[in-house]
Amino acid sequence: MSERPADGSPAPAPADAAPLLFICTGNATRSVIAGVLAARAYPARPVRTAGTFVIEGQPVSWRTRRALETLAITADAHRSTQLTAEHLAEAAVVVALACEHVTYIRRNHPEAAAKTATLHRLARDLADGPAPLAERVAGLSLDTVPLDPAWEDVVDPGGGEVEDYLACAAEIDGLMATVLPRLDV
């Protein structure tokens, strides 16, 4: 684990660290917001985003762009990407934005299930500490833990009003503030 700066922010991860992977359904809002926040916190660490049901190559919508602006971040270069087995194999941890994404991994990519959790679960259960991230994630038994959408899902704002996107961004930002320091290597 890297030494944290005096201000308590996450330490820069080495460039050869395994990528952090954030997934949602369309790779259009939730995973994008979480991924951009992670990339800002760890500029040297690879951060990837993908979706379980994607129209490839789509930019973020104006509503997502507005939500990102409230967090003082942008994703102008983002294009939606379908989740692949290669993404999962390379990832240190797979951060899902809803239980349906964890279920998708368990069903279609069981080899990645033990390192896949919802953002809410990681905020609640992932320990901070000197052990490497892989060990701390393994200790959560993520491949068998029961899922509960009532508290684990970040609701998809897709099709909603701009206020829904702003609320989604605020929720993800709050969760990421808790989780990011724990994703240190």
Q: What is the DSSP string of 49-103?
A: EEESS--TTPPPPHHHHHHHHHTT---TT----B--HHHHHH-SEEEESSHHHHH
pLDDT score of 12: 54
pLDDT score of 129: 85
Extract the residue ranges of the chain whose pLDDT is less than 50: 1-4
Q: The tokens of 62 are what?
A: 């104006």
How distant, in Å, are the alpha carbons of 26, 81, 127 from that of 29?
Answer: 8, 12, 27
**Residue boundaries of the structural domains of the chain:** 20-183
Alpha helices in the chain (DSSP H): 30-41, 62-70, 85-90, 99-108, 119-125, 133-138, 149-152, 162-179
What one-letter code names the amino acid at 181?
P
Distance CA 156, CA 128 (A): 28
pLDDT score of 184: 76
pLDDT score of 13: 53
Task: Tell me the CATH class for 20-183.
Answer: alpha beta
Q: Are 4 and 182 in contact (CB under 8 A)?
A: no
pLDDT score of 3: 46
pLDDT score of 2: 42
pLDDT score of 1: 39
How distant, in Å, are the alpha carbons of 1, 86, 118, 142 from that of 172?
Answer: 24, 25, 11, 20
Q: Which residues contact 57 (CB under 8 A, 6 or more apart)?
A: 79, 80
Angle CA 111–39–180, to nearest 5: 70
